[in-house]
Amino acid sequence: MAVAELSAVDAADRAVIPRRVKAIDNPPAWLIAVGWVVGLFLVLPTLIVIPMSFSTSTTFAFPPVGFTWHLYANFFTSSTWLLALGNSVLVAVLTAIVATALGTAAALGLHQLTGRAARVVRTLMMVPLVAPAIVIATAVYITYLQWRMTGTLAGFVLAHAAISLPFVVVSVSAALSGFDPLLLRASASLGATPVRTFIRITAPLISRGIVTGAIFAFVTSFDEVVIAVFIHSPTFQTLPVQMYNSVTAEIDPTISAASSLIVVVVALLFLAPLAFRRRKGRAGK
């Protein structure tokens, strides 16, 4: 999301500020009120899981009663929840590695290629973004049944890597668009091999795009529900699957603690590149 945020802000800054007309043109009070209501509608429902995670109630009843760390203790002592968390982290890390490696290579290739075939490939790479997850999930599930890959680490990683690939390709491509190709020729003329050029020249310059892509891939996998619900097995499941089951199959309030933890962790992961960028920006000044 960091990239989108950046580009949206940039676009707005370019487009809006110079044309803004002051004083006569302030937004009316009712519009500001609507803005507040919509903003709260976006934010509040998600935050409700945090107070719920300290509730002493054994159901999902609202409002939360009392205050206890019991649900967190549950989460960190239950072997089911911990195993699911461990699987999720493992799958997400491996997904990030696979998707970042393949996606970065693909973005580098696409950046140098022009013409119809390259355009077709570029479009194909975006298909996982627009295809509904349920269609992918059911199709992959049936195929995995034949390949005996349901409930396997490899099955999870490959499926998650495939759907996160577009994020890496997009973010690395965005970084490459500001990259001067003359640097490649300069490096080659000084005798560097393509691999050395990539390590010494290209990679450092597009590192932000690669890091953003890797974070996207990690979060996409860590939070992926639909495919995981289909391809999991009783012996191998991820955290979202366990959360899904704790709502549908068993009423397990531990999900409140799990939800709150994920909300915080994912928020931190997305804020990380922002902090990174700010530090870099300051260092630059």
Partner 1 sequence: MSMTKPRASAGTLGNWLILVPALALLVVILGVPLVENVVRSFGLPGQFSLDHYAQIFTERTTLNIMFRTLVAAVVVTAITLVLGYPYAYLMTRVGPGARGVMLTVVLIPFWTSALARNFAWIILLGNNAPVQQFFQFFGLPNVVLYGTATGVTVAMSQVMLPFMVLPLFASLGAIDRRLLLAARGLGSSPIVAFWKIFWPLSRTGVVSGIILVFTLSLGFYVTPALVGSPQQSLVAQLLGQETTQLLDFAGAGALGTFILVVTLALVVWANRLGGSVSAIGAVSAAPGGAASGARAGRGR
Residue corresponding to tokens 């979060």: 219
Please tell me whether residue 214 binds partner 1 under the rule CB under 8 A: no
Residue from the set 87, 197, 224, 236 that interacts with partner 1 by CB under 8 A: 224
Query: For partner 1, which stretch binds (CB under 8 A), given 65-73, 75-83, 160-168, 275-283?
Result: 160-168
Q: Nearer to partner 1 by C-beta: 86 or 194?
A: 194
Please tell me whether residue 110 binds partner 1 under the rule CB under 8 A: yes
Residue from the set 93, 97, 225, 272 that interacts with partner 1 by CB under 8 A: 225
Residue from the set 92, 94, 96, 159 that interacts with partner 1 by CB under 8 A: 159
Site for partner 1 in 115-134 (CB under 8 A): 121, 124-134
Please tell me whether residue 136 binds partner 1 under the rule CB under 8 A: yes
**Which CA distances in Å does 108 have to 125, 145, 202, 217?**
14, 35, 9, 18
How many residues in the chain?
Answer: 285
DSSP 16-62: HGGG---STTPPPHHHHHHHHHHHHHHHHHHHTHHHHTT---SS--S
Q: Measured from the CB of residue 132, what is the shortest distance to partner 1 in angstroms?
A: 3
Please tell me whether residue 92 binds partner 1 under the rule CB under 8 A: no
Beta carbons of 171 and 104 less than 8 angstroms apart: no
Residue from the set 78, 266, 272, 276 that interacts with partner 1 by CB under 8 A: 266
Please tell me whether residue 252 binds partner 1 under the rule CB under 8 A: no
Binding mask 45-74 for partner 1 (x = CB under 8 A): xx-xx--x-------xxx------------
Give strand pairing partners of 34: none
Query: For partner 1, which stretch binds (CB under 8 A), given 73-81, 168-176, 200-208, 277-285?
Result: 168-176
The size of the interface with partner 1 (CB under 8 A), counted in residues, is 106
Q: Nearer to partner 1 by C-beta: 103 or 237?
A: 103
DSSP 208-224: HHHHHHHHHHHHHHHT-
User: What span, in angstroms and rounded, lies between the C-alpha atoms of 41 and 63?
Assistant: 18
Q: Measured from the CB of residue 63, what is the shortest distance to partner 1 in angstroms?
A: 8
**Which CA distances in Å does 158 have to 94, 97, 149, 153, 231?**
9, 11, 10, 9, 12
Beta carbons of 175 and 232 less than 8 angstroms apart: no
For residues 97, 100, 101, 102, the Cα torsion angle rounded to the nearest 10 degrees is 120
Q: Measured from the CB of residue 73, what is the shortest distance to partner 1 in angstroms?
A: 19
Q: Nearer to partner 1 by C-beta: 4 or 82?
A: 4
